[in-house]
Amino acid sequence: CFLSLQKREISNFDYLMYLNTLAGRSYNDYMQYPVFPWVLADYHSETLNLTDPHTFRDLSKPMGAQTVERKQKFIQRFNEVEKNLSAQCHYCTHYSSAIIVASYLVRMEPFTQTFCSLQGGSFDVADRMFHSVRSTWESASRDNMSDVRELTPEFFYLPEFLTNANHFELGCMQDGTVLGDVQLPPWADGDPHKFIFLHRQALESDYVSAHLHRWIDLIFGHKQHGSAAVEAVNTYHPYFYGDKMDLNNIKDPLIKGTILGFISNFGQIPKQV
């Protein structure tokens, strides 16, 4: 399959879906939903230049290391673990979880009801809802130390998830903005179909094709855990590594329940492929 990718016989999208399937990710499981990368870093320009490397996200680095300042903060967290945390890691949150998936797709059923269920029966505070592609990128790549989320496959083929066609009352932000359709980058001209078209073009671009293997190493490959992950600033709370934990040897039901709940609510590292 990798040779087919190199020869351009399959698309980057199809290859990523193949890897997700091999790693146990499925549309049928919100806790192990297919994970896709942010591929762009330009959500502010009037036009999208797919020949400029600066248009793209650095696929060799996890979301927590997209800026030098943020990367250093996570390295500091890792090094100061004995004073502050119960487990040594860079990230205590995950890049893919049930709540992340449901929040992205909240404007469509059955994700609407799933999101509300996970939130205790109602929508979240409006300012925390997914409402803007640009602000979500800025949060996940730069501004929020608790946010290292990646994307779902729908960002590359499904314009409907970006519109509030069901007219859900999603609330009003503190600045007075009433939430409705997702705010799109200027280069999308307010058109969800154009956003998906250009976003998919970006995924299949020469730049992403040349660098996608670096992101795959982080999520599915040898930089997923161990010394290579530490060097890549890519380690997560031990509970996220579900297949590395032998729950059968944990006798305390409270501890076992805590671990299972942690995995269910906060995400799980894909199986290494």
Side chain identity, residue 196: I
Alpha carbon separation from 20 to 25, 26, 210 (Å, rounded): 5, 7, 19
Nearest to 268 by CA among 219, 222, 230: 219
pLDDT single digits (tens) 24-46: 999 999 989 999 999 999 999 99
Alpha carbon separation from 35 to 6, 30, 135, 152, 213 (Å, rounded): 21, 11, 20, 5, 14
Per the CB < 8 A criterion, the answer to whether 101 and 94 are in contact is no
Among 192-196, 200-204, 237-241, 264-268, which stretch is predicted with the lowest mean pLDDT?
264-268
**DSSP code string of 121-176:** SSPPPGGGS--BHHHHHHIIIII-TT----B-GGGGT-GGGGS-TT-----B-TTS
Pick 244 or 49 by higher pLDDT: 49
Task: Determine the 3-state secondary structure of 34 from DSSP.
Answer: coil
Among 63-67, 87-91, 135-139, which stretch is predicted with the lowest mean pLDDT?
87-91
Q: What are phi and psi of 77, to 5 degrees?
A: -60, -45
pLDDT single digits (tens) 96-110: 999 999 999 999 999
Residue 114 has pLDDT above 80, yes or no: yes
Alpha carbon separation from 223 to 41, 134, 233, 257 (Å, rounded): 22, 28, 9, 29
Per the CB < 8 A criterion, the answer to whether 65 and 54 are in contact is no
Nearest to 102 by CA among 20, 200, 29: 29
Q: Which CATH number is 1-264's, of 3.20.20.140, 1.10.1060.10, 1.10.1540.10, 3.30.300.10?
A: 1.10.1540.10
Confidence of residue 130 (pLDDT cuts 50, 70, 90): very high
- Judged on CB neighbours under 10 Å (0-12, 13-18, 19+), 190 is exposed
Q: For the chain, what are the domain ranges? A: 1-264
pTM of the model: 0.90
Share of the chain above pLDDT 90, in %: 75
pLDDT reported for residue 263: 66
Task: Determine the 3-state secondary structure of 91 from DSSP.
Answer: strand
Share of the chain above pLDDT 70, in %: 89
pLDDT reported for residue 1: 57
Q: Which two tokens stand for residue 54?
A: 């600066």
pLDDT reported for residue 237: 87
pLDDT reported for residue 84: 54
pLDDT single digits (tens) 158-211: 999 999 999 999 999 999 999 999 999 999 999 999 999 999 999 999 999 999
Q: How many residues does the chain have?
A: 273
Residue 251 has pLDDT above 60, yes or no: yes
Task: Determine the 3-state secondary structure of 66 from DSSP.
Answer: coil
Alpha helices in the chain (DSSP H): 2-6, 12-22, 68-79, 81-84, 98-104, 111-118, 133-138, 192-203, 206-219, 227-231, 253-266
188 torsion bin: left (phi>0), alpha (psi -120 to 50), beta (else)? alpha
Q: Which two tokens stand for residue 219?
A: 């999520």
